Structure 1
Amino acid sequence: MCGRYALTSAPEALRALFAYEENPNFPPRYNIAPTQPIPIVTLTREPGGERRRHFHLARWGFLPGFVKDIRDFPLIINARSETVVGKASFRAAMKRRRCLVPADAYYEWLKLGAGRKVERRPYLFRRADGAPMGLAGLWETWSGADGSEIDTACVLTTAANGATAAIHDRMPAIIEPADFSAWLDCDEIRANEAAELLKPAADDVLTFFEIGPEINKASTDGPRLQEPLRRSLLD
């Protein structure tokens, strides 16, 4: 599960990597949490056939089109890549509304102990080469009975790779830049073909380390959240 992540690269660097047309100017965010607005990258086909990538903001919390009342539906921040092709909640979006979620890092919690003595230690994960990541995502525009509309999105997850499994059994599905076009192209690339891109990253793609518990509070932000935690031998 991916429940928090960070987007801290300069807007110019992200625009160069994801090749969207807009020129958004946004501050670094070190602790992005569910229900908050998140950037997503989509692909559209123009009337003349030209394909163009676009930058949007969407609520992190996917809502399928059939939902009538937000209050009656659970918050979906992640979807399992193994079931998105066939599951009713995601089937249409997997066919027609695939997106990329730009990120520089994501966070997971190592669970130690059990019952009342359980302890959860946060870890930061980022690419070993320092580049931003394109997380596989789905988006949907939810329409309310009053005519209001909300763009919503979720991150797709897959099984952890051999390295990250020591911390958590799931990880975001990371789309490599060479595969951005295939993932986003819902006209030419069928859902089953796109699903083949949803696999664990190679063991050497990510680096990770323990960080402090301040990340647990969604309202906390800033680069200090990503400082490695130094533990003594007695901890």
Structure 2
Amino acid sequence: MPHSPAPSPRTRVRRMPERAHYEADTVAAIVDAAMICTVAFQVDGIVHAIPTIHWREGEHLYIHGAKASRMLKALTAGEACVTIALADGLVLARSAMHHSMNYRSVVIYGRFEAVTDPAYKLASLRTFIDGLYPGRWDSLRPITDKELNATTLLRIPLGEVSAKVRDWGVKDDEEDLDWPVWAGVIPLRTVQGEPLTDADSVLAEAPPSRFDPAWQ
């Protein structure tokens, strides 16, 4: 059973409700663990679903993009649905029917609002960059007023939201337990590869990213 009630009828998990979570801490952890969300919205009666990078500050999810972006313009004019999904493991059962996947997912409903205060925008973009590469913002060429003005920053509250999680092993039928096939969980994770230094890079050593084991 969920630890708290769904914040609205459309966020209530109906399929496998035992996997539902509505606590703010659970939602925030999943939002923070993911880099990309999918934003669904409608323009002229046509539904679009666009993947985009995101970050979280407090009780809001943030996205950004070019001022001319049709998606960003549409998001402040109507309702949106944001989804996030992380695959954590392949669950191999003794029958095809009971194969599954361990995962964490979030669904957010609401409307985006524009962040227009220049100081707030600058601070939020710094949070975004440093969240991917800790401490990198201070080493970068400072952002110009023109660049800041050309960037749209939107946020949506993490209020009307639900999470769904599966994080356990195989659930086979008892009569299948002796079937001679491997059963268990194969964990999945994102790992950092070998950095590829740009030919014109002044420095040869890459900075740590959020996937660097030393940072984690």
Structure 2 length-normalised TM: 0.31
Structure 1 length-normalised TM: 0.29
Choose between structure 1 and 2 for higher RCO, CA contacts under 8 A separated by at least 6 residues: 2
Q: Report the structure number with the largest CA radius of gyration.
A: 2
